[in-house]
């Protein structure tokens, strides 16, 4: 154990130097090494206390904080902080109850206390933003009950994988027969909370087209044929265009057209389409792709929402539009590591297991689904600290 701890500490020291030098991925490496250190030093009783007392209480206190705007009040107080009685008045919470909850938030490093006053931290200030407040609501009210129901659900199903969109841990937890997304639509404000959660989930992380991630200039701009007014990038199932807008902003000199595709209700909900720096088009990815011979077809977290059969259907409908030796297929998806899985990847896999009866895939599984769709796997591009990779493929010769 001593040797292991010494090794971890040496790696932490080295990672600390790279962090001070702003090296990409050094922050995430330090967090992972911190987890390694805790896992090495923590004894079983401490593990139980943290996992089954401290962390569940923390998530409940964060939900409480949303209800009484606790993080906002701390943010408003700034560096001066706020004393317990004043914070109790602002939140409407009994001062003794508030102090007990705040002590746990302090112990869990979310807020701090000095000279008789509560103070916010960079973390609590970040959590005060609207999208994180709604994310807390979604995670506590929607996701957590599904996870809590895992043991009983799998016991009843004799520990078999759920295969139905209407008979999984989520439906059992929430007493519904609806699939996840239709349920969100019929139970406001959960759809709005989920949208906020998805925006928060990727916040602060590199985009697939950032420098050092997928080489846009080398793999897409180079060799682009614009002689027939061909499309440069087609964002398939791209929602309201968040990815497309950021791509165009960062690669303003891109050649050719950028086209956003999604279902009619989604495209109809986009405001001021004429002002957008890209074209929009109604398209259902379960039907043949109408835009032929584009340089790249991009799908962000689309295939992971579906089982293999439906994922292959999506890819087969897209395959018909690919130009051999020219068109790239880019899947921005999680690729699970079997040897060193990350919390970001496995927690999303658990989300899919709980709510969608589907899964995140390993590299071998991604290669398998591409092969069955008649596509040739080319390469996987990764970026330090980012859960999703870019899986590049093309038409099988």
Is residue 393 a contact partner of residue 335, using CB atoms and an 8 Å limit? no
Q: Prior bond to 189 cis, omega within 30?
A: yes
Phi/psi at 82 (5° precision): -145, 140
Is residue 296 a contact partner of residue 326, using CB atoms and an 8 Å limit? no
| Cα(147)–Cα(276) distance, integer angstroms | 40
Judged on CB neighbours under 10 Å (0-12, 13-18, 19+), 276 is middle
Phi/psi at 159 (5° precision): 60, 40
Q: Any idea which residues carry the catalytic annotation?
A: 304
Which of 75, 99, 72, 77 lies closest to 88 in space, CA to CA?
99
Is residue 379 a contact partner of residue 392, using CB atoms and an 8 Å limit? yes
| Cα(40)–Cα(341) distance, integer angstroms | 18
| Cα(155)–Cα(141) distance, integer angstroms | 23
Which of 256, 258, 262, 216 lies closest to 236 in space, CA to CA?
262
The 10 Å CB-count burial string (b at 16+, else e) for 330-363 is bbbbbbbeeeeebebbeebbbbbbbbbbbbbbee
List of residues 6+ apart from 57 with CB closer than 8 A:
104
Tokens for 134, please give them: 């709604």
């Amino acid at each position: 154990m001593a040797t292991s701890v010494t090794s971890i500490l040496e790696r932490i020291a080295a990672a600390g130097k790279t962090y001070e030098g702003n090296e990409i991925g050094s922050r995430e490496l330090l967090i992972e090494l911190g987890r390694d250190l805790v896992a090495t030093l923590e004894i079983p009783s401490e593990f139980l206390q943290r996992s089954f007392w401290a962390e569940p209480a923390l998530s409940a206190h964060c939900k409480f904080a949303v209800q009484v705007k606790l993080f906002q009040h701390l943010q408003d107080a700034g560096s001066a902080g706020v004393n317990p009685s004043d914070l109790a008045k602002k939140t409407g919470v009994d001062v003794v109850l508030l102090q007990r909850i705040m002590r746990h938030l302090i112990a869990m490093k979310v807020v701090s206390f000095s000279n008789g006053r509560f103070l916010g931290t960079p973390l609590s200030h970040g959590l005060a933003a609207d999208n994180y407040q709604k994310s807390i609501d979604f995670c506590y009210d929607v996701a957590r009950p599904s996870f809590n129901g895992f043991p009983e659900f799998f016991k009843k199903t004799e520990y078999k994988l759920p295969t139905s969109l209407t008979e999984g841990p989520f439906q059992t937890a929430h007493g519904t027969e609806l699939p996840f997304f239709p349920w969100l639509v019929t139970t406001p404000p959960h759809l709005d909370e989920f949208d906020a959660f998805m925006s928060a989930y990727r916040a602060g992380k590199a985009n697939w087209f950032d420098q050092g991630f997928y080489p846009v200039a080398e793999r897409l701009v180079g060799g682009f044929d614009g002689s027939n007014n061909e499309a440069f990038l087609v964002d398939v199932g791209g929602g309201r265009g968040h990815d497309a807008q950021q791509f165009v902003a960062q690669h303003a000199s891109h050649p050719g057209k950028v086209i956003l595709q999604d279902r009619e209700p989604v495209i109809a909900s986009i405001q001021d389409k004429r002002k957008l720096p890209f074209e929009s088009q109604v398209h259902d990815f379960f039907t043949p792709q109408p835009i032929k011979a584009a340089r790249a077809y991009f799908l962000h977290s689309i295939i992971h929402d579906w089982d293999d059969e439906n994922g292959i259907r999506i890819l087969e409908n897209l395959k018909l539009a690919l130009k051999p030796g020219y068109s790239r297929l880019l899947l921005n998806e999680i690729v699970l590591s079997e040897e060193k899985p990350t919390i970001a990847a496995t927690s999303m896999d658990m989300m899919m297991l709980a709510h969608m009866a589907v899964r995140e895939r390993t590299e071998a599984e991604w290669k398998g689904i591409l092969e069955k769709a008649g596509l040739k796997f080319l390469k996987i591009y990764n970026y330090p600290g980012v859960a999703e990779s870019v899986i590049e493929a093309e038409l099988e010769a």
